[in-house]
Amino acid sequence: GDRDELCVVGDDYQSIYSFTGATPEHLLGMPVRFPVALVVRLEENYRSTPEILSLANRLVPELGGSEKVLRATLPGGAEPLALVQPDRATEASFVVGQIRRLAGEGVPYEEMAILYRLNARSEDYEEALADAGIPFQVRGAAFIRRPAAQRTIRLLRGREGSSAIGAVTEVVRKQGWVARPASGLGEEELTRQADLGRLLTLAEQLPAGSAVADFLRDLEERFGAETRGRGVHLLTYHRAKGLEWEAVFLPRLEEKELPYGKASRGDRLAEERRLFYVGLTRAKRWLTLTWTTRPSRFLEELGVTGRAAPKAPKPESTPEFEALRRWRAERAKADEVPAYVVFHDSTLHEIAARRPASREELSAVPGVGPTKLERYADELLEALAATPA
C-alpha cells in the first residue's frame, strides 16, 4: 500500500542465491524507493578476530554495493594461513594435519569446518578424515548418499560375486559416464559425472580379481565413517551461510573452482566473489586458505600470494616401519596396485609405533578398517612379529 512503516535488514555482500531469484538490488534499492529511509550500517563484528576481518575487508572494494568495513570486538588472534600446495593429496593431508593440531590444543572437531564450492569435492576430505580416524559430518549429501553412488550400489546388488572392475565399468557407463565431460555442464551434472568417475577409479584400485562384494565393502570402509551430529563439518559455501566455526579451511582456491568455471564474468563472477567473502567470514579464530594449481583471482584481490607449505617432519624410521614397508611393497606388487592402496605411510608408522599383537589391537589403529583388517591382518602381524622387540 502507501504506508512506509518498514524495516529491512540484510547484507548485500552475502547475496549468494541468484538461482532462487535473490539479488542484492532488492536491498540496495531501498533508499531510492524510500528517499526518507534511515540507513544504519551494522559494522561491529562479534564473531571473528581482527586478523580474519582485516583479510576479509580487503575484498570490500571489489564487492561494490553499500560499502561496509567490519570492525572486530574480539582481541587479536592468529594470522590467517595462505599456503600453496604441490598436489591434491598433500593439500588434503595438510588440512588433516592442521585439524589434528587444533584438536590437540583443545578445539572440538565440531568447531571446525572444511568448505568447498561443489558437492563433488567432499569425497576427498571424507576419505582423508576417515583414514586419519577423525570423525566428520557432511552437510548436504555425503559421497555414498549422493544419487550416482546410490544408484551404482543398487545396480550392483545381487552381483556380489562378479568381477568388480567389469561390473562397475558397466554400471557407470549405463548411467552415462564419460571420461571427459563436455564443458559447460551444470553443477549437478558435473557432480554426478565426477562421482561416477570416482567410483570407477576406486574399483580400478582394488587388487586384481576383486569381486563386487569387495568393492562394496571398500566403499563402506572409505566413506561410511560419517557420524551424524558430531565431528568436523564438510559443506559447500552455500550451505555455510549464517553458520560459524572456530576454525575454517578453504581448500582448492583456484580458477575454474572458485570462481566456478561457468561464472567468469559479470553478475555471476560478482556472486562467486560474494561466496568467497561468506567463506572468509565464517571463521572465528583460525582461517586457512590453500590451493595447488592456478590460484583464484580472488586471492590476488586480497593481496595474497601464498608461500609453500612447510613440509611436515617425517616420522623417525624404525625397524618395525621398514619391515612393514617391505611387506607392503611385496603385497602391492602381488595385487598389482599402488602401495598406498594397501596402507598409507602414516598408517604404517602408527602400526609400527603401537606394535599390535592381535587383530583386535590392529583394528584400533586409525586407517585400519574392517576390509583392510580382513585382507591384510594375518600377513601384517606376521611381518611385525618377525622384527626384534
**Using one digit for the tens of pLDDT, what is the confidence trace for 120-161?**
898 889 888 888 888 889 887 778 888 999 999 999 998 989
State residue 293's pLDDT score: 86
Predicted confidence (pLDDT) at residue 263 exceeds the cutoff of 70: no
Predicted confidence (pLDDT) at residue 228 exceeds the cutoff of 70: no
Return the C-alpha torsion angle 227, 232, 234, 237, nearest 10: 140
Range among 24-28, 81-85, 314-318 with highest mean pLDDT value: 81-85
State residue 265's pLDDT score: 73
Predicted confidence (pLDDT) at residue 15 exceeds the cutoff of 80: yes
Segment 1-5 mean pLDDT: 80
Evaluate whether 273 touches 138 at the Cβ level (below 8 Å): no
Predicted confidence (pLDDT) at residue 14 exceeds the cutoff of 60: yes
Residue with the larger pLDDT of the pair 264 and 351: 351
Predicted confidence (pLDDT) at residue 48 exceeds the cutoff of 90: yes
Residue in the structure block whose three cell numbers are 502507501: 2
* pTM beyond cutoff 0.85: no
Q: Which of 80-84, 140-144, 145-149, 237-241 has the lowest mean pLDDT?
A: 140-144
Predicted confidence (pLDDT) at residue 5 exceeds the cutoff of 90: no
Q: Which of 111-115, 131-135, 268-272, 285-289 has the lowest mean pLDDT?
A: 131-135
Distance CA 188, CA 204 (A): 25
State residue 337's pLDDT score: 66
Q: What is the mean pLDDT of the chain?
A: 86
State residue 12's pLDDT score: 87
Residue 123 phi/psi, 5° resolution?
-65, -30
Residue 254 phi/psi, 5° resolution?
-135, 160
Segment 16-27 mean pLDDT: 82
Predicted confidence (pLDDT) at residue 196 exceeds the cutoff of 70: yes
Predicted confidence (pLDDT) at residue 338 exceeds the cutoff of 70: no
Residue 387 phi/psi, 5° resolution?
-90, 145
Residue with the larger pLDDT of the pair 30 and 344: 30
Segment 70-96 mean pLDDT: 91
State residue 103's pLDDT score: 92
Predicted confidence (pLDDT) at residue 169 exceeds the cutoff of 90: yes
Residue with the larger pLDDT of the pair 267 and 314: 267
Query: Coil, helix or strand for 357?
Result: coil
Alpha helices, H only, the chain: 25-28, 30-33, 50-57, 60-63, 88-104, 122-132, 147-156, 164-174, 187-204, 212-223, 237-240, 266-280, 297-302, 319-335, 339-342, 345-354, 359-363, 370-385
Percent of the chain residues topping a pLDDT of 90: 40
State residue 315's pLDDT score: 64
Q: Which of 154-168, 195-209, 284-298 has the lowest mean pLDDT?
A: 195-209
Q: pLDDT band for 226, please (50, 70, 90 cuts).
A: low
Contacts of 122 (CB under 8 A, 6+ apart): 116, 138, 140, 141, 142, 143, 234
Residue 189 phi/psi, 5° resolution?
-70, -35
Predicted confidence (pLDDT) at residue 309 exceeds the cutoff of 60: no
Segment 366-386 mean pLDDT: 83
Residue with the larger pLDDT of the pair 333 and 239: 239
Evaluate whether 151 touches 175 at the Cβ level (below 8 Å): yes
Segment 156-172 mean pLDDT: 91
State residue 312's pLDDT score: 47
State residue 388's pLDDT score: 83
Residue with the larger pLDDT of the pair 3 and 340: 3
CA atoms within 13 A on the CB side of 37: 19
Segment 245-253 mean pLDDT: 97
Distance CA 214, CA 134 (A): 24
Segment 366-380 mean pLDDT: 80
Segment 300-319 mean pLDDT: 71
State residue 204's pLDDT score: 86
